[in-house]
Amino acid sequence: MTFIFRNMWRRKGRTFLTIFGIVVGIFALTVLGGMTARMDQQVKGMKGFITGKISVAPEDSGAHVRMRGGGSSYMDLSTARAIEKIPGVQTASGMVMVQLKSAEGLSAPQMLVGYEPPADGGMFKDIKMSQGRELKAGDTDKAVVGSVLATQERSKVGGPITLKGKTYEVAGIMDATLGPTDAWAFVPYQDGLNTFLAANPFIKDVQLVQSITVLPKPGADIEALAGTIQKDIPGVKTTSPVQAEKQISQMTTIFSAIILGIAFIALFVGGLSVINTMIMSVSERRREIGLKKAIGATTSTILREYLGEAAMIGLFAGAVGMLAGLLAISALNRATHANNVVIFAVTSTVILGPVIFATILASLAGLFPALRAARLNPVDALKEE
Amino acid sequence: MSIVTTEALTKIYKMGDTTINAVDGLDLSIDKGEFLSIMGPSGSGKTTLLHLLGCLDVPTAGKVNIDGVETGDLSGAALASIRREKVGFIFQEYNLLPVLSAVENVELPLRYLKVKPAERRRRALEALEKVGLSDRARNRPSQLSGGEAQRVAIARALVTEPALVLADEPTGELDTTNTVRIMDLVRDLNRDFQQTFAIVTHDPMVAERTRRIISIRDGKIESDKAVA
């Protein structure tokens, strides 16, 4: 270790430049990693909402019952009743959504969701209530609130919450999922519809729904059921849980590609500069390597020493780049915190990933120069001027 | 008792079409506690002989036996182990590592012998004391004079208490005063600790201070005589 540290700093300028090159790459990797981690959280949170459900939306053309308003297609609530008649369907809940506040950064918009609660609840199977209960059929003027919205509105179970000018009693507050539903409020369908119609005065129809969420009976084949609904109900498009997950994971693909791209650039630039630095070090220290071998150092001792130096450059640069990235993430998150927006997430992968990556990268890049050093013939090396 | 023996020791270098017999069928025996010099003109093969004796190089033919170990068929790792345990080297240009202090330089061979840090430090300081440099233990090589640097290198060669210390032109970089000091020091170490020294030199003043002078020419022993 003594050798490694002191040797690293013999050519301060050169070592600094090499480390700086890697730091830049690792900084970018950490920041983008934080962004991806946040995206992942959103996706996982969303998955909790879609698991075990079939989502039914109007098809673009030929809908069973369709109206046009603001460029969107709608269905009639009767479509939900028609779906409920299909064998294997437990309940079909019509939904209508109104935006409370638009999206900021990577955060989901705040939404008011009007839906028909199933008689025995169970609409949010994978999302637990931290307080209170889910909505039940027959509830009026009651709301279930997502964790972020609840914090923002200082909501308490049994207390009031005012959404788009209407005051509801908070029936339940959902556990944080880190997904978009954290910023949503769920109210009975009719209340949601009234708010929706008030926000869209040009729509005169009364029983419209934007989507229908279908819960299957226990033991029913949910994928097959999605196909049956698609086939039997004209003008609708069903999305099964498997399809929904596929759609969501596509969202993260582009981010993963960017991360891979940055990693590749870091690999290329950082790797080359480590190779260059280590080759220079070995060339300058040929005589020293000869001396060490003369007094008993083995090939593996020299190999370890030089590999250690390369790995240390990677570890140091990785740690500095990661810390700089975390500082940037923390500053950006603080800047957007006032608006309840979280753009970056810090997970153990975001912290350890770039450091491990940089260390392995530098070690691999140092392997060739280290082997060259280790294989030097001591007699030849000692003759060097 | 012999510490080192060689039998028909030969080292041949090929440079293009030219064959150079750097060491040519040389038979030699060095006893424990000897203080000898190997003399010869440039290109006579004296440094090659030193490298062969110190297991830094392998012979083309013939045998080297160091402290009872036949080195002919040993692997690179086994030769490194002989160098660690049985041989100490002193070079013309000191070859101290600039990033280490004097005492850390002396500790270096003990590191390779995997001696524990506290024991390492104790033995290194003891070796520095033998060469009269206790007060310069924390200095880096750049803060030492040529004579002091060579004394640190001598301490480094002695610290493992090797069977044989090989010195290649140890006074080549020093002025007359320091040459005398270094040779007196080496002679005292030989006398006080029965440490075996073989010194390669082309300087008669150095050779005359040893007790046996082996002259080499064209890879062969030209003369081998005791100094009165």
Asked whether A8 and B99 are in contact (CB, 8 A), the reply is no
Tell me which residue of A122, A171, A123, A121 sits closest to A150, measured CA to CA: A171
From A3, A10, A378, residue closest to B56, measured CB to CB = A378
**In this predicted structure, what is the pLDDT of residue A71?**
45
Tell me which residue of A75, A118, A92 sits closest to A208, measured CA to CA: A75
Distances (CA, A) of B3 to A149, A170, B46, B185: 87, 95, 19, 22
The sign of the CA dihedral B163, B79, B56, A365 is negative
Best residue in B99, B101, B104, B160 for a mutation probing chain A (most A CBs within 10 Å):
B99
In degrees and rounded to multiples of 5, residue A117 shows phi and psi of: -65, 135
From A7, A295, A379, residue closest to B112, measured CB to CB = A295
Tell me which residue of A48, A37, A177, A173 sits closest to A106, measured CA to CA: A37
Q: Is B81 on the interface with A (CB under 8 A)?
A: yes
Q: Is B113 on the interface with A (CB under 8 A)?
A: yes
Which positions in chain A touch B80 (Cβ < 8 Å)?
A: 293, 296-299
pLDDT tens per residue, range A325-383: 999 999 988 887 666 667 788 889 889 998 998 899 889 888 888 888 888 888 888 87
Instruction: Share the mean pLDDT of chain B.
Output: 91
Asked whether B201 and B171 are in contact (CB, 8 A), the reply is yes
Return the exposure string of A14-31: e unless at least 16 CB atoms fall within 10 Å of the residue's CB, then b. Answer: ebeebbebbbbbbbbbbb
The span from the CA of A365 to the CA of A368, in Å, is 7
pLDDT tens per residue, range A132-188: 888 888 888 999 998 888 888 888 899 999 888 889 999 999 887 777 788 889 999
* Interaxial angle between packed helices A12-50 and A299-337, expressed in degrees from 0 to 180 and rounded to the nearest 10: 50
Q: How many contacts does A have with B, using Cβ atoms within 8 A?
A: 60
pTM for the full predicted model? 0.72
The span from the CA of A224 to the CA of A167, in Å, is 41
**B32-61+73-226: what fold?**
Rossmann fold (3.40.50)
Residues A84-105, mean pLDDT to the nearest whole number: 85
The span from the CA of B134 to the CA of B129, in Å, is 5
From A287, A291, A296, residue closest to B84, measured CB to CB = A296
Strand arrangement of the beta sheet that strand B197-201 belongs to: B87-90, B164-168, B197-201, B35-39, B212-217, B220-226
Residues A283-297, mean pLDDT to the nearest whole number: 89
- For residue A108, is pLDDT > 70? no
DSSP A270-300: HHHHHHHHHHHHHHHTHHHHHHHHHTT--HH
Q: How far is A372 from chain B (nearest CA, A)?
A: 16
Q: Is B91 on the interface with A (CB under 8 A)?
A: yes
Best residue in B55, B56, B96, B142 for a mutation probing chain A (most A CBs within 10 Å):
B56
Cβ contact, residue pair A295, B76, below 8 Å: no
Distances (CA, A) of A376 to A87, B11, B80: 79, 20, 13
pLDDT tens per residue, range A222-244: 888 999 998 888 888 888 888 88
Neighbours of A71 (CB within 10 A): 5
The span from the CA of B189 to the CA of B130, in Å, is 8
Return the exposure string of B127-144: e unless at least 16 CB atoms fall within 10 Å of the residue's CB, then b. Answer: bbebbebeebbebbbeeb
Asked whether A88 and A260 are in contact (CB, 8 A), the reply is no
Cβ contact, residue pair B77, A299, below 8 Å: yes
Residues B89-102, mean pLDDT to the nearest whole number: 91
**In this predicted structure, what is the pLDDT of residue A106?**
56
Instruction: Share the mean pLDDT of chain A.
Output: 84
pLDDT tens per residue, range A2-14: 677 787 777 788 8
- For residue A292, is pLDDT > 80? yes
pLDDT tens per residue, range A114-143: 999 887 777 776 677 888 888 888 888 999
What ipTM was estimated for this complex? 0.91
**In this predicted structure, what is the pLDDT of residue A60?**
66
Tokens of B94: 């000191």
The sign of the CA dihedral A189, A195, A198, A199 is negative
3-state secondary structure of A212: strand
* Size of chain B in residues: 228
The sign of the CA dihedral A366, A372, A375, A380 is negative
pLDDT tens per residue, range A15-65: 888 888 889 888 988 888 888 888 887 777 777 777 788 888 888 644 444
Cβ contact, residue pair B84, A299, below 8 Å: no
Cβ contact, residue pair A301, B108, below 8 Å: no
Tell me which residue of B165, B226, B169, B171 sits closest to B200, measured CA to CA: B169
pLDDT tens per residue, range B160-212: 989 899 999 998 888 888 898 889 988 988 988 889 999 999 899 899 999 99
- The DSSP H or E segment spanning A112 is strand A110-115
Start-end of H helices in chain A: 2-8, 12-50, 77-84, 147-152, 189-199, 222-232, 241-284, 286-294, 299-337, 348-374, 378-383
Domain ranges of chain A: 2-43+248-383, 60-234
Tell me which residue of A97, A106, A58, A62 sits closest to A80, measured CA to CA: A58
Best residue in B13, B42, B97 for a mutation probing chain A (most A CBs within 10 Å):
B97
Which positions in chain B touch A296 (Cβ < 8 Å)?
A: 80-81, 83-85, 109, 112-113
Burial zone of A138 (CB within 10 Å; 0-12 exposed, 13-18 middle, 19+ buried): exposed
Asked whether A13 and A314 are in contact (CB, 8 A), the reply is no
Domain ranges of chain B: 32-61+73-226
Asked whether A312 and A5 are in contact (CB, 8 A), the reply is yes
**In this predicted structure, what is the pLDDT of residue A339?**
60
Cβ contact, residue pair A382, B95, below 8 Å: yes
Cβ contact, residue pair B83, A301, below 8 Å: no
Residues B7-17, mean pLDDT to the nearest whole number: 91
The span from the CA of A242 to the CA of A370, in Å, is 50
- B residues 162-221 closer than 8 Å to A (CB): none
Which positions in chain A touch B104 (Cβ < 8 Å)?
A: 2
Cβ contact, residue pair B100, A2, below 8 Å: yes
Residue A324 or A250, more confident: A324
Which positions in chain B touch A287 (Cβ < 8 Å)?
A: 95
- For residue B144, is pLDDT > 90? yes
